[in-house]
Structure 1
Amino acid sequence: MTIKTSTGLVALLLLGLVGGIAAAAIAPNVAGPQQDGTALTPVGQLVTPIGRQTNLGDLPLNSTLSPDGKTLLVSNNGQGTQSLQVVDVAAGAVLQTLPYTSPESLYMGLAWSQDGTKAFASAAANSKIRTYSYADGVLTEGASLPLPTVAPDGTALNLFPAGLALTPDGTRLVVADQLADAVSVIDLGTGAVVTTPVGHRPLWVTLAADGLTAYVTNQGAATVSVVSLADAAPAVTGTLMAGLHPNKSVLASDGGHLYVADGDADTISVIDLAAGTTSSISVSPSEDSPVGSNPTGLALNTDGSKLFVSNSGNNDVAIVDLGTQTVDGVVPVGWYPTSLSFADGRLHTTNAKGLGAGPNNAAGRPDPESSAATAENQYSGSMITGTLSSFEVPVAEDLKRATRQVASNNRSAKAEGEVIPRKPGQDSPIKHVIYVVKENRTYDQVLGSLGRGNGDPALNLFGDESAPNVRALSKQFTTIDNFYADAEVSANGWNWVASANSNPYAEQMWPANYSGRKAPYPSENADPEIAAQEPDNTYVWQRLARAGVSFRNYGFFVSLAEGQAVAKDPVLDAQTDHAYRGYDLSCPDSAGTFAPLKADCGTSRIDEWSRDFAANVAADTVPTVQFVRLPNDHTQATRVGKPTPKAYVADNDFALGQLVDTVSHSPIWGDTAIFVTEDDAQNGPDHVDAHRTVALAISPYTQTGKVDSTFYSTASMVHTIGLLAGIQPMTQFDAFATPMSASFTSTPDNKPYSAIRPSYDMTTVNAANAPLAGQVEGENTDTEDRIDEQLYNRAIWKSVRGAGSTMPTPKHQVIGSGAAAGTDDDD
């Protein structure tokens, strides 16, 4: 049956579900954990994990069962404290946690010795393999196995060890060197290391039964390297085809086939090792579903007849019948499942994001500025707790019910109303779209004291003095108060902004990058491993170009080269305004007074955009879609001599006001919609959820002054832009997300908007005594998010509220504790 929620959304009443599947009576309308053990992801998927739930650490990416099937090792690889955990699988209890704070690290690779008395774990940032002895439920770390840090030519080498496999005789360890495009073999007797090149971004190692051949998945490509271990030096003897961006793999029980999870093809590659041929099994929800299942982990049942697949994008485990090579059904687990282990009829699934970001209000702490209140569990990039879902694999009618539950959890929404097309190609009065992306603010930081919508005035930092245009636009057009960034940070945020997905490579890599653990920034460039689909068909501008839809780029995915803003992607670069700066906090957003500036900035971003826009208007060549980046609300916190946070926000806000002013006084205003959001919301507190952020829909068709509390996200905005531009959804996520139809009305109001100059003096800079200036000074602000975000958040708060003030702890999801404690499935 269906019922109406208070916001007018249709929600399912979920009854008669299989034992152990937690289900909400009414689909919630805010992101985060719910009181009944379910959750809602920022993109809007319902999470209803089956079985027993065990809390793990920050971002569990891999797990492996001991030979006796009694103990699970879990590697937590998040932005904060990484850890290796020992889990008693029968009890579902964590017996031991070994923490590693940056620069110490863990990553992906885990292996047991055949007798279960030793274990190995990759320490990617430290160029070594950690070794442990194991007895009576306790790991004891021993001497590590070092990997080379200098290449033969003397240059620095960052192998970044990922997947591990121990040869059956226990004498050698095979290591996938992800950032070196290589594989290393370590002789455990002598410690000698021999390295050989393989494919791009190798992630996983699976050994043949005799231990003489290694199969290495190349996550940055669509291949598996075949490596002979017959001699002392490993040698690549062949390359096998797989689907795009292969993740983990597992060898069939007969040893003749290799199964590979194709992370960005939504397939399982079935490789006939003797013939060297590859077929595939789809794990997509339907034949016509776009990409987005993002399979990551694999496991076989005892007799090898069933293959289990963790679909990180669908929050489920697919059960594949290997006899028919079809999916029998799917089972709901936690948010973003990553690895699987099977023993004694039970499946154990690590869920990297568990139930999302839970409530976090520092209750009972006497000092909100204490080390406890400002620890990593207060930061959106590191506060999410992973979980382990353990359950007996459902069959027959139970599996059918579980499959229906997953379909319900991921049910797509449709456009409603008369302005936003219900499907691409339908007519709309909107003919021009401007997509503006800013940096890192929560809803409450800017709109909390607006006096309308679901805001918390106590958390508002930037009011009418520094953000008058965002606030006035929200009042005059539509106040959108239930909009979420689909990402935790900028690295995955810009992937969502531009492609409605963040693929497994990016999700695995950004935490190490943000925590100083020697990983690259997995976003905003043309590296093939970052693309969530084929590199020439991932981003919204590529889809526009293929459809013959005109567009223009101002600052998206560009870097500075000889004074020009250049995009690596040739499709984007061809339509880029090369005089428009991308992310550079030393250059102004607005045509106002802003200091200090670099001498080579030329003009402000909005001046350059206005010049180009005027030329296009005069020539009647205004593109259908414009991409506009306005980054300065990121701020440099309290760095001495740099603009204060309020000056930066005022500059950014004035630029947005000037853009809307210009468009609304132009000939295209009557058929234009301007969509504005932040790439993520990591830089402050919000009383609903730390993913909640600012969103604006500005058009004659949204000039209603109403509040729209529909659940939207970044993917909703991308979906809406696609519908207006006439292109199909790019991924399952924008296909799923609710279009922003409710913000529009069929009756336009063409009244123009006049920009408001902020009253805050935009020439104000941080003095030497600015709060926390000494700590902030050493931070890198040349590129996005190379800073201590918690420190920056505190500095911004104190800059605005006073040096003696205390920053409220970021709160996540206002309506309950969301304890990760489902019921067991043994009923």
Structure 2
Amino acid sequence: MRRLVRVGVTAAAVLVVGAGTAYAVNTALHAGPQGDGTGVTPAGWRVTPAGAQTALGSLPTASALSPDGKLLLVLNAGDATHESVQAIDPASHAVVQTIPYKKPDGLYAGVAFSPDGRHAYASSGGANTIHAYSVDGQHHLTEDPPIALPTKNPAGQVVNLYPAGLAVTPDGKRLVVADQMSDSASVVDLATRRVDTVGVGHNPYGVALSPDGRTAYVSNQGANTVSVLDISGPLPTVARTVTVGTHPNRMAVDPHAGTVYVANSESDSVSVVPAGAAAPRSTIDLSPYQGAPVGSNPDGLALSADAGTLYVANSGNNDVDVVDAHTGHIRGMIPTAWYPTAVTPSADGRTLFVVNAKGLGAGPNPNGPNPYTDNQRSGTPGFEAQYVGTMIAGSLSSIPTPDAAQLAKYSQQVVANDGFDERDKVRSAAPNNPVPARVGEPSPIKHVIYVVKENRTFDQEFGSLGKGNGDPSLNLFGDDSAPNSRALQRKFVTLDNFYANAEVSAQGWNWSVGANSNPYVEQTWVGNYSGRNHPYDYEGGNFTTAMNRDPKDSYIWDRLADKNIAFRNYGFYESDNVFNPGPSGPDPRLVANTDPNFYGWDLKCPDSSGTFTPRTACNTRIDEWQREFQQYEAKGNLPAVEFLRLGNDHTQNTTPGYPTPKAYVADNDYALGRLVDSVSHSRDWASTAIFVVEDDAQAGPDHVDAHRTIAQVISPYTQTGKVDSTQYSTASMLRTIELIAGIGPMTQFDATATPMFNSFTGKPNLTPYTAVKPAQDILTSVNGANAPMAAQSAAQDYTREDQIDEQVSNQAIWQSVRGAGSPMPAPVHAAGAPPNPPAGDPDDDGH
């Protein structure tokens, strides 16, 4: 049942001259909307959606078609004020009604109609309610009082059910809900609104019902199981548990035979479970090519009216698989926009409606970042703020159901878009390039130091560098506060076309260490960032966020451990010197190779400056790293890979008594300078490469794309002073590290990513680097009580990344650097923003 794509198509971004020869890259390619109805993702994959396109709101995650086929509902589950239900006319594909929600209310992942089409329901996520609607004869929605779910368990303890998927029984009397954060499912009597709850597996997500309505299926997204519930009696009970693939998402049920199809996100498969069975009958492999690592991330499922065709929305591959439901054979693939989350056939079967969470991407945000939305300040219809977390508009693709010939053409387009036909043809242009073209080939580089920082864009720090594609007007941190980063960018290789694969840190850390961000992370981070009652569980602790078949073998350090390659961790996946707790516990192999004296996330702990005030009881990060480095140098046993977290460039804005934003950046910059200074004056300099990247680019403006970020490769083999404008991403950096270290790719994204060959030369320059200490008045400056927006900054939560109000953060940083009262550039309408924004007066206070 494996998909075997063999199509002679060459991806537009790549030109392969011949087997074993040069690898040429179109350096003019950039991420974001291309202006012709197509886009390019930060990973470099083209987006060419089939069919007609309708602009939606932010992060649409689910859809449902009314029983008469005349109304399509879509949930927009975006950040801050961007949550809404949109009603769409399937005939015209137009949005005819929008119902917005302000925090703490919101939406998540479940929407359904009653069998008679007179009622509809939507899950609220952290508000712990089910939104209820009446639907009139004109298909207009009127909101009814919401259905309240329990907020305390029978013992009186507070619980957060966080409703996700839901389904209405065929008789229209009950609603079954997956309670994602309480590991339970609820059955609601719609007449009395009584709620009965039963325990299921970890982080349940999807709900489906048997044709007779007596059995409910609940997919446990945090495990590899489906809980089968008997809901025929007065109380729901778990009848059995069926083992399926890793992290099951949505399900579809054959209305005739009762067969259940389960989309397995991290197994890239669909489990086929006959009615009443205790195990799957078969598994449909969704791998895009033979031997492909995971990354398709199937989410939405739908069956044709005759149940003969299964449609699978692969959020990772930006396509819909068309599957013969009887044989499991994949007939072909349909290209979608970026990150499809749901697929729904029209009532007559002639059209497929595909919901795309990220549309065509972000594009430039030179007038941002601004808060999540500024509708009330702007007063401009269709206005969207240029914050990367909210400026990306989702879309609806209305696609005529393709015949065999059209499907074959579509399949070729998907292969070309995603570069699947190029994966085995990568060769370095230089025969002596120190980056191997294949895993296991030799390299003069024996040691890698991988540094991850926090949240900056290219233009914010390098816009005025004088090299590369920068916009000086957007540069906030110059040679005074970032002298080392800027000098290293000039002396070594300048990377001006490098993108974070993520929008925010919740996704960014998963991309930085696992080369993917799975549907759980992609669809729940907004509930955390917008203050809608979702925990920050994205950096270890909860293996629901792990992005591979085996959650305990998902991260780059796991792959190193698999091959007995020595590594050392300094701060990854820990906060305040404590590994992030969670229902799954921390990764034991990471814990065993971590320096216990190195502080992870804690903005009270300095990266480099001994005069940092105030400081917590911690060792200065770079001092602690340097202490162990000197020991390794003395013994000649420097690990092959080191992971180093330097996050103080995040800043604490203008909080009184804390370093100014420039001081925080200077502290972070000096730590990097000292790191390079130490390594470049050591015995291992000739065999070391230092890779530096931001986990995301959410906290700054950029004139190319809101994902474009700071990246550096520092090594004798990159000390050329050249500009490398090849389109790279976080996945490219990971692939380069993997090739040097001798481990294979973790997902399809690093497998198909462009290695950073063009940044390296075969002729090393061993000249050492001497760190530059930022000016003392910059390095030690502290916010006063009257600092710009001091009170607002002091009220923010800095205990974890990205728990703050981004509007306050960005305005405070801007005024701190440019002067009190200086206005940030006015936001403008983001490319691709929906033409009909939610009505009302949404708040803009972020999170």
The residue number in structure 2 matching 1:37 is 37
Q: Give, in angstroms, the shift of residue 393 of structure 1.
A: 2.0
What do the CA deviations read for 1:158-210 (whole angstroms, capped 9, x no partner)? Answer: 10011111111111111111111111111111111111101111111111111
Q: Which residue pairs with 2:5 in the alignment? A: none
What corresponds to 2:23 in structure 1? none
CA–CA separation in structure 2 for the residues paired with 1:765 and 1:60:
42
* Alignment partner, residue 710 of structure 2: 694
Q: Is the 8 A contact 1:198 1:236 kept in 2?
A: yes
Report which stretch shifted further, 666-675 or 411-420: 411-420
Which digits, 9 at most, give the CA deviation of each residue in 1:775-813, with x for residues without a partner?
222110111110011220111011001113222357899
TM-aligned CA distance change 1:40 to 1:564, over 3 Å: closer
Letter in 2 for 1:293: S
2:598 maps to which residue? 580
CA distance in 1, matches of 2:610, 2:816: 22
CA separation of 1:372 and 1:819: change in aligned 2, threshold 3 A: closer
Would you say the 8 A contact 1:558–1:565 is kept in 2? no
Partner SS, residue 455 of structure 1 = coil
1:4 CA drift (Å): 12
Aligned to 2:395, which of 375, 387, 390?
387
Does the Cα contact within 8 Å between 1:50 and 1:391 map onto a contact in 2? yes
Q: Could you tell me which residue of structure 2 aligns to residue 766 of structure 1?
A: 783
Amino acid at match of 1:394: P
| CA-CA distance at 1:485 after TM superposition | 0.4
CA contact (8 A) 2:392 2:832 kept: no
- Which region of structure 1 is more displaced relative to structure 2, 100-109 or 708-717? 100-109
2:368 aligned with 1:355, yes or no? Answer: no
CA contact (8 A) 2:62 2:341 kept: yes
Aligned residue for 1:436?
A: 451
The equivalent position to 1:780 in structure 2, one of 797, 816, 821, is 797
Partner of 2:100: 99
Distance of 2:518 and 2:10 partners within structure 1: 35
The residue type equivalent to 2:190 in the other structure is L
Distance in 1 separating the partners of 2:14 and 2:672: 31
In structure 1, what is the equivalent of residue 667 of structure 2? 651
Give deviations 1:449-495, integer Å, cap 9, x for gaps: 00110000000011010000000000000010000000000000000
Q: Which residue of 2 aligns with 1:258?
A: 260
1:394-433 → structure 2 map (5 Å cutoff): 394-411=402-419, 412=422, 414-416=426-428, 417=430, 418-433=433-448
- 2:306 pairs with 1:303: yes
Q: Determine the structure 2 residue equivalent to 1:678.
A: 694
Matched residue type, 1:667: R
- Taking the aligned partners of 2:365 and 2:451, their CA distance within structure 1 comes to 31
Cα deviations by residue, 1:237-270 (Å, 9 ceiling, x for unpaired):
1011111000000001323310010011000000
Shift of the 261–188 alpha-carbon distance from structure 1 to 2, 3 Å rule, reads: same
1:153 counterpart residue number: 155
Contact 1:595/1:762, CA 8 A, preserved across alignment: no
Distance (whole Å) between structure 2 residues aligned to residue 452 and residue 557 of structure 1 = 34
Give 1:121's aligned amino acid. Answer: A
Which residue pairs with 1:17 in the alignment? none
Which residue is 1:19 aligned to? none
Read off the aligned partner of 2:315 and give its amino acid letter.
S
Distance in 2 separating the partners of 1:713 and 1:812: 26
Partner of 1:127: 128
Q: Hey, what's the Cα distance between the residues in 2 that align with 1:713 and 1:755? A: 27
| In 1, Cα distance between equivalents of 2:689 and 2:146 | 58
Which residue pairs with 2:807 in the alignment? 790
Task: State the shift of 1:651 in Å.
Answer: 0.3
1:282 aligns to 2:285 (yes or no): yes
Report the secondary structure of 1:643's partner residue. coil
Give the structure 2 partner of residue 78 of structure 1.
78
Residue 639 of structure 1 aligns to which amino acid in structure 2? T
Give CA deviations for 1:102-159 in whole Å, capped at 9, x if unaligned. 1111111111111111111111221111111112131110111111111111111110
C-alpha spacing 1:137/1:3, structure 2 compared with 1 (3 Å): closer
Query: In structure 2, what residue type is equivalent to 1:117?
Result: R
Question: Quick one: distance in 2 between partners of 1:736 and 1:794?
Answer: 38
Confirm whether residue 801 of structure 1 aligns to residue 807 of structure 2. no
The 5 Å alignment of 1:617-766 reads 617-759=633-775, 760-766=777-783
Query: Corresponding residue for 1:505?
Result: 520
Find the residue that maps to 2:340 and give its secondary structure: strand
Distance 1:104 1:221 in 2: 28
Equivalent residue for 1:463, pick from 474, 478, 485: 478
Please say if residues 131 and 143 of structure 2, whose CA atoms lie closer than 8 Å, have aligned partners that are also in contact.
yes
Cα 1:545/1:354, change in 2 over 3 Å? same
Give the residue type in structure 1 aligned to 2:790.
A
Corresponding residue number in structure 2 for 1:214: 216
- CA spacing shift, 1:525–1:267, aligned 2, 3 Å: same
Structure 1 residue 819, shift from structure 2 partner: 8.4
Paired residue for 2:330?
A: 327
Alpha-carbon separation, structure 2, partners of 1:811 and 1:755: 40
SS of 1:691's equivalent in the other structure is coil
5+ unaligned residues in a row in structure 1: which ranges? Answer: 13-25, 822-827
Alignment map for 1:7-86 (pairs within 5 Å) = 10=15, 29-80=29-80, 81-86=82-87
Mapped to 2, the partners of 1:328 and 1:488 lie a distance apart of: 33
User: Partner of 2:146 in structure 1?
Assistant: 144
Deviates more, 1:677-686 or 1:583-592: 583-592
1:563 and 1:52 mapped to 2: Cα distance?
Answer: 47
Question: 1:298, 1:310 within 8 Å by CA — same for their partners in 2?
Answer: yes
Distance 1:184 1:352, change over 3 A: same
Letter in 1 for 2:459: D
Partner of residue 385, structure 2: 377
- CA contact 1:687–1:810 (8 Å) conserved in 2: no
Change (3 A) 1:27 1:82: farther
Aligned residue for 1:142, secondary structure, equals strand
SS at match of 1:747: coil
Shift of 1:621: 1.1
Q: CA deviation at 1:593?
A: 3.0
Q: How far did 1:526 drift? A: 3.0
| Contact 1:27-1:46 within 8 A present in 2 as well | no
Helix, strand or coil for the counterpart of 1:660? helix
Aligned residue among 605, 613, 623 for 1:595? 613
Mapped partners of 1:89, 1:369: distance in 2: 28
Match of 1:293 in 2: 296
TM-score (structure 2 length as normaliser): 0.91
In the alignment, what sits opposite 2:494? 479
Assess if the C-alpha contact under 8 Å between 2:294 and 2:747 holds in 1: yes
Q: Aligned partners of 2:458, 2:363: CA distance in 1, in Å? A: 17
Question: Percent identity among equivalent residues?
Answer: 54
Shift of 1:303: 1.0
Aligned length: 799
Residue identity matched to 2:752: F
Query: Which residue, out of 283, 308, 317, partners 1:314?
Result: 317
